[in-house]
Amino acid sequence: MKLSVIAKALSAKHYGPDMDMPNIAIDSRKITGGELFIALHGENFDGHDFIESALKQGAKAVIAAKEPQTALEKSVTFLVVKDTTQALGALGAFWRDRFALATVGITGSCGKTTVKGMMESICQQQGKTLATKGNFNNHIGLPLTLLRLDETYQYAVIEMGASGAGEIQYLGKIAKPNVTLITNVMPAHLLGFGSLEGVAKAKGEIYEILPEEGVAVLNVDEKFSDQWRKLIRDRKVITFGLKNPADVFAKNIELLPFEVRFDLYLGNAHQTVTIGIPGQHTVMNALACAAAGLALGISLSNIVKGLETFQGVPGRLRRLKGMNGAWIIDDSYNANPGSMHAALDVLAGCQGKKLFVMGDMAELGDDAQRYHEQIGESAKQKGIESLFAVGKLSQHAVKAFGKGAKSYSDKNVLVDELKRQLTDQTIVLVKGSRSSGMEVVTHALAYHED
């Protein structure tokens, strides 16, 4: 596709020669030669300051919110738009529209990335699947994900994150999913949403952007499910749940230390599935994916194969060998109260001496202290022997836990103490929000072969 076509789609002024659309770059440091550099403007940076650097690195075209000025800028193709971030979104939407493929849109407070990975594994049993990488689930990452599409893909699994109202709707209009699901609603990003009700309303936007022929996958165990049904209107619905009657459900659930096993029911059809990720929440995540698979017309056998093939996500309840024969449960990727309680359930179900290493949970607003206290209380009630905390807010968890808990200001000191306690009878859960950087602790405790 020519850049002149892109310019027309973006209502951009076109300077310089026409060319086929090259690969996209938003970081001048990662340019290898021939790319289209988009000069994004963020809170702490302005890509326009790096246009010259991008061109010297070999970029052949630029999308910017300013006219070409220097001789170097005037020597390449320049597309001038009002807002480069909006242009990136419009470009992603324009590119997505070129391909007729089944697209699943996923949002929720907990489990988005795991559900995305499970869903990708299921779809891969049927055909080539594009999926969100890492945390590319926002107004920058989502369009960049869609720009990887080509005619060889049959499915797309797109994760949508948000920290405020209107963001899911914006992302949905770019991705245009024909199957959408919400994993759950829990206290997360409350600074942006204001309340749990605000979270539910914002997540519900994913149902509002469904086309008339789309399918809504609905968690009937969520207290907001009736509210979401109103947003779905007369579109087709496939339900999943454990507590309430649903189209997709589970029986004979076995919660084992490092895996789950259950009978997966799609209506009357059923098959036993074993997933190498622990916890009751894993069952619910699998049901959500199975319901979406049903919406896509994927067979029960391929759904089960996809679930059993899925190996989990780094930093999400991954079991690692630790020093001195200990086991580490690495759940350091992120945290909110819901995922904290789920991880504690997994730790509590393990045999041996159970240690909980906790970092702060971010963006919980005025209730942050109470949520951290609840985690400390829950850990004590579940029989966790010791709590090791890092961060100002986690000190409230230490106080609530009482005897056996200690707060640290230095991760190195914490790691040294933990290493002294590791034996072949020890299992350690490491968890905290991204801003806590708890992966440093995981890496220090894990066993590394020379």
| Known binding-site positions | 108-114
From the centroid of its chain, how far is CA 410? 29
Strand 248-256 versus strand 259-266 pairing type: antiparallel
From the centroid of its chain, how far is CA 167? 15
**Distance, CA of 101 to CA of 154 (rounded, Å):** 5
CA dihedral 406, 343, 326, 117 (to 10 degrees): -140
| Binding annotation for ATP | 108-114
**Distance, CA of 62 to CA of 54 (rounded, Å):** 9
The neighbour count for residue 250, using CB atoms within 10 Å, is: 22
